Amino acid sequence: MTKQDFHVHTTYSDGDNSPEEMILAAIDKGMTKIGISDHSYTWFDETYCVPKERIAEYKKEITALKEKYKDQIKVLCGVEQDYYSEEPTDDYDYVIGSVHYLKVDDGFAYVDESPELFQKAINESFGSDVYAFAEAYFATVADVVNKTGADIIGHFDLFTKFNEDVKGGRANLFFDPSHPRYVTAWKKAVDALLPSDKYFEINTGGMASGRKTSPYPSVEIQNYIRLHGGKLLLSSDAHKAENLCFRFEEI
Ligand SMILES: [Zn+2]
Ligand SMILES: [Zn+2]
């Protein structure tokens, strides 16, 4: 199995290790390719992304590292482009398109920040109807390739992030993934994205952080994508070196 990983964060955004530390760890693990994909700048939330004034430095450093380590590993300079980021993506090697927020009347509803903000979005932006939130989320994901020019569709069902209590062994904390409105919403998004022929990630990041017992997207969604000829790509969404290629063999 080719060991490669294209969803990787560093200290330029919300990761723990520098790009060089990630690359050295990748070489150590025997990986043949690594793509660094820090979070694109979002003006409405600067807490986790590459600061606007460091974008040029980010590209320059990864480009220098590509050259430095070219005999040991292929390094790519990518970006995880949020749906609402307004930064250009032209000079990256590839783009991961991700939906982390939804635009609502009074600003942005947070999909993956915390269970508290997820609950707040349900209550205050979607009339306490979690399925209305899910429908709006997947309608936005359906447009992510169009909007961001993504080569890879990031964590397709990130909406499930807080739905499990892994330690307590409880599921469906916020919603039932077999609810017909939920199923219809994700199927519509997969159907809309399939003609683009881009990769859907199988993202093990939620497992690495202990939030989930399975990757994004769910097995049901993975099977639907496969059945309809879609392409899947393993990625770790690593925020630290030890999580590169997290549980890839097994998944
Ligand atoms: Zn993401
Ligand atoms: Zn990520």
CA torsion angle 15 18 20 26 (round to 10): -30
Tens digits of pLDDT across the chain (251 residues): 669 999 999 999 999 999 999 999 999 999 999 999 999 999 999 999 999 999 999 999 999 999 999 999 999 999 999 999 999 999 999 999 999 999 999 899 999 999 999 999 999 999 999 999 999 999 999 999 999 999 999 999 999 999 999 999 999 999 999 999 999 999 999 999 999 999 999 999 999 999 999 999 999 999 999 999 999 999 999 999 999 999 999 99
Phi, psi dihedral angles at 221 (to 5 degrees): -70, -45
Query: How many A from CA of 70 to the centre of ligand 2?
Result: 24
Ligand nearest to the CA of 111: 1
Query: How many A from CA of 7 to the centre of ligand 1?
Result: 9
Query: How many A from CA of 33 to the centre of ligand 2?
Result: 17
d(CA 158, CA 26): 26
d(CA 35, CA 24): 13
- CATH domain 4-243 topology: TIM Barrel (3.20.20)
Query: How many A from CA of 39 to the centre of ligand 2?
Result: 7
Are the C-beta atoms of 201 and 7 separated by less than 8 Å? Answer: yes
Domain ranges of the chain: 4-243
Task: Write the DSSP assignment of 63-111 as a string of letters.
Answer: HHHHHHTTTT-EEEEEEEEETT--S--TTSSEEEEE--EEEETTEEEES
**Residues with a beta carbon under 5 angstroms from ion ligand 2:** 80, 237
Are the C-beta atoms of 192 and 142 separated by less than 8 Å? Answer: yes
Query: How many A from CA of 71 to the centre of ligand 1?
Result: 30
